Amino acid sequence: MVSTKQVDNTIPAIEAKLAKVGGDMVKIEYLENCLRQLLPNDIKRFCHLKLAELYQSRLMYSGAAKNYDLAAESSVTYKDKIDLYFKQMQMLIKMGDYLMIDKPFKKAYAASSTNQEKEVVKEFLRKALYSQAQEYEKKMNNRKAAEVYERIMELAFIKDEERKQIIQKLAQLNSKIGRIKQAIEYEHMKDKPIQKPTRRLDDSPEVRRVSFEDLGIEWN
Q: Is the dihedral of CA 88, 94, 95, 96 positive or negative?
A: positive
Average pLDDT over residues 173-189: 90
- Do both 4 and 106 map to the same domain? yes
- Do both 87 and 153 map to the same domain? no
Amino acid 210: pLDDT: 39
- Do both 47 and 146 map to the same domain? no
Within a domain: 74: yes
> What predicted TM-score, i.e. pTM, was given to this entire model?
0.82
Within a domain: 218: no
Structural domains of the chain, count: 2
Rounded-to-integer distance, Cα 72 and Cα 82, Å? 8
Full residue range of the structural domain in which residue 161 is found: 125-203
CATH classification at residue 97: 1.25.40
- For residue range 41-84, list pLDDT tens digits in order: 999 999 999 999 999 999 999 999 999 999 999 999 999 999 99
